[in-house]
Structure 1
Amino acid sequence: MAAAAEGAPLTGIGLALGLAAVPAGWSAITATAEGAAAGLAKGFGHKGTGYLCVRTGGAQVAPVVTDVQVLSDRSPHPSGYTRAPEFPEPRAAVSRKKRIYVRLQPREAAATAVFDVQLSAKSSALPLYMKIGEIGGFALWCKKGPLSEPLSLQQLSLRAPASPQGAPAAPTSPKRAPGALHDAGSIYGLSAMDGVPFALHPRFESRLGPSSTALLTDLTVKSLADIEREYHYAFVVERTAAARLPPSVC
């Protein structure tokens, strides 16, 4: 079973001496990744069954778990880590062959966090998970990921932020005039030629000067009848060939 909700970083990892000892706000991992019972009976230092438990609540204000280590009881306490809590508090005379240490950091100072931990058989491999060590006869795995900045309600809203009281309102885009081809106040109404100055090539400036009307004197305007008379074609050859008759001279 998954130990953490998708998208919520862990804010605590601990050990409970039984299901009844799991405190409020914590969840016990009762099954391995293969579906077997996940009781930590071996090497847990007591006759009952212990369980690995995690916490995800209060992730916005509570420190998040950024790393996990499993060390023997003879290993020195790693710097920057705290020992995972046990529920209820362990007695000093009880020995633990393996200990779990976690590194907690404020959410705003952490780039990555632990989002899930699972137990599996020692010979198994869990894709996308990193093996931390072995405890209670199982392999301990964790899944890390980057932390995303929580969005505020104002960022999620499509409305523009309200201006402070007394501050001048932001200028609005000019309204679209009736019959206008496009709205110049909107980027969606701009064409590729907007803002490009119009200029003629120097080659044509002399021909289109004050005496540009002289260019029109060489033009001949023809009517439709003139065009039909000039380009009239009777199709005599085509009609003769179609009728299969010898051509006649008229």
Structure 2
Amino acid sequence: MAAAEGSPLTGVGWSAAPEAAPAGWTVITGTVEGTAANLGKGFGHKGGGYLCVSTGGAQGSVVTDVQVLSERSPQPPGYTRVPEFPEPRAAASRKKRVYVKLVPAAAAETVVTELKVSGKSKTLPGYLKIGEIGSFAIWCKKGPFLQPGPPPLPKPRPLSPHLRQLSLQPPDRYQTHPFKPPRSHLNRPRTGNQSRERWCHLVVSAPPSGAPSPLLSPAMDGVPFTLHPKFEPKLSSGNNALLADLSVKSLADIEREYNYTFVVERTAAARLPPGVS
């Protein structure tokens, strides 16, 4: 069984048995010819042994190179010895040792994507032979590592002209605009009653610069009004005099005043001919 093709390897190890590999590791149990890939004798173990790889998650480090060296060869700089499962015994002999070079994924350009085991006489096109263990040849496949790019940004949705005019920001300021009378009233000579004219004022919010005003002018804007002369002395004497003339009706008075008995309708209905409904 080979490593998953196309995914960068994140680790290479050696397992004493297929069931000894921890979770997340894939054991290479067979050769490309279909025979068992037990490397135990050549690796210094009487009970057997298998290569295993991990491909889970490329956010940390990835394998960029693998080397198989004899026990007398020095460890290459920048390489680490592969882990063994279970923990290796101190007295065990290792005729061949496997080293890997781990590089942070952000700095990796070429990575190892697959390991395969075959007989010594076998040739695998597209694979690089990295060494021999016992009667087996170890091959690896390399490829460029594509750095994960940022997630694509969503395209902005087009807004209709009505939505563009909407704003969640409050108006900058509030102003009081008096409504001036028409010019015809200003040019007309004033009388005594007209001197007491009152002009209404509305408080409106100033719309943002360049935006249309959302307010509609009332129908009475700019129309002057005057108070009847009989209310003038009562307003000048205070609010109590005005409230004294107000009469409060009871519920019975309201029902009696607005009681409608439909006498006219009933009389008209009684005068209709029998054939008219």
TM-score, normalized by length of structure 2? 0.54
- Aligned partner of 2:201 in structure 1 is none
Pick the structure with greater CA Rg.
Answer: 2
**Once the 2 structures are TM-superposed, how far is the Cα of residue 150 of structure 1 from its aligned partner?**
1.6
Of 75, 87, 90, the match for 2:88: 90
Q: Within 5 Å, which residues of 2 pair with 1:26-65?
A: 26-59=25-58, 61-65=59-63
Of 155, 163, 167, the match for 1:160: 155
Structure 2: tracts of 5 or more residues without a match: 158-163, 165-277
- Aligned partner of 2:267 in structure 1 is none
The C-alpha deviation readout for 1:179-226, integer Å capped at 9, x for no partner, is xxxxxxxxxxxxxxxxxxxxxxxxxxxxxxxxxxxxxxxxxxxxxxxx
* Contact kept in structure 2, 1:154 and 1:161, CA below 8 Å: no
1:2 aligns with 2:11: no
**Once the 2 structures are TM-superposed, how far is the Cα of residue 160 of structure 1 from its aligned partner?**
2.0
| Partner SS for 1:154 | coil
* Contact kept in structure 2, 1:131 and 1:142, CA below 8 Å: yes
**Once the 2 structures are TM-superposed, how far is the Cα of residue 89 of structure 1 from its aligned partner?**
1.4
Moved segments of 4+, more than 4 Å: none
TM-score, normalized by length of structure 1? 0.60
Quick one: distance in 1 between partners of 2:9 and 2:156? Answer: 33
Quick one: distance in 2 between partners of 1:65 and 1:87? Answer: 19
The C-alpha deviation readout for 1:100-147, integer Å capped at 9, x for no partner, is 000000011011000000000000000110000001320000000001
User: Number of residues paired by the alignment?
Assistant: 158
RMSD over aligned CA atoms reads: 1.7
| Partner SS for 2:19 | helix
Of 127, 144, 147, the match for 1:146: 144
**Once the 2 structures are TM-superposed, how far is the Cα of residue 161 of structure 1 from its aligned partner?**
6.2
Decide whether aligned partners of structure 1 residues 150 and 78 sit closer, same or farther in structure 2, where only a CA change above 3 A counts: same
Relative CO higher for 1 or 2, CA cutoff 8 Å, sep ≥ 6?
Answer: 1
Decide whether aligned partners of structure 1 residues 151 and 50 sit closer, same or farther in structure 2, where only a CA change above 3 A counts: same
Quick one: distance in 2 between partners of 1:10 and 1:132? Answer: 15
1:20 aligns with 2:19: yes
Residue 71 of structure 1 aligns with an amino acid whose one-letter code is: L
Quick one: distance in 1 between partners of 2:43 and 2:117? Answer: 15
* Contact kept in structure 2, 1:42 and 1:137, CA below 8 Å: no
Structure 1: tracts of 5 or more residues without a match: 163-168, 170-250
- Aligned partner of 2:231 in structure 1 is none
